[in-house]
Amino acid sequence: MWDALDITEEEAAGLAEIGRHDLELARDFARRALEATDNDEANRLARSYQRAARSYRQTLAVKARLKRDLAAAARVQADTPARKPGGAAVARRIGELRTALLRLNWDEAERAETEHPDAPDAAPDAAADDALGAREIFAFRREDVELAIGEACLKPDFAAAPLDDEVARLALDLGFSPDAIARWCDLPDPPAEALAAEAEDLDWESSA
């Protein structure tokens, strides 16, 4: 806020220090003038007191003006709309959100598959079926991810909030696990075969 007035915090503190010194000098000159027994000495000390007192009043006036200016700058800052992120920032945020949400999507797909393992008498190629099941879940939820990002980037405040906050908001809306959301940066990227799968290309009934 001090920058808005072209003054540093150190300079503002120095102004307060000057005011304290002016007051101390004025008090000292006043005391000595009152105690002086020589008229010339008393007059000299009185003039010094008046100069110190005037300097103190001027310092107080400057501090009062600074206080008013700071309040005015704060009002202007509060009334000024936040600058919207540019195109590069928006494009970067879309990519970051896609990375985060696809990681969460793959984590969700793998956990869902683990929670519903094949029966003990599964066929020898059950591992391949398991992988296909995870890809199906991933592909289905991927459409929701892209839709959520597309809707989010149309909002006026898109890319204004910290990345983690925006990831959390969209991920919670999509129903991803809060525990996974908190560690999305550490989650692995989806494998290439999952990214290559499209929901409409998968045979849902044959893989059920």
The pLDDT tens digits for 7-53 are 777 887 888 899 899 999 999 999 999 999 999 999 999 999 999 99
Report how far residue 208's alpha carbon sits from residue 206's, in angstroms, rounded to the nearest whole number.
6
Going from N- to C-terminal start, the domains of the chain cover 2-79, 87-201
Task: Look at phi and psi of residue 34 and say left if phi exceeds 0, alpha if psi is from -120 to 50, else beta.
Answer: alpha
At 61-110, the pLDDT tens digits run: 888 888 888 888 778 777 766 666 677 888 999 999 999 999 999 999 88
- The pLDDT assigned to 124 comes to 40
Report how far residue 208's alpha carbon sits from residue 39's, in angstroms, rounded to the nearest whole number.
111
Which has the closest alpha carbon to 110: 140, 134, 127, 133? Answer: 134
Report how far residue 191's alpha carbon sits from residue 111's, in angstroms, rounded to the nearest whole number.
15
Q: Two tokens at 67?
A: 């206080």
- Cα dihedral sign, 132-133-136-141: negative
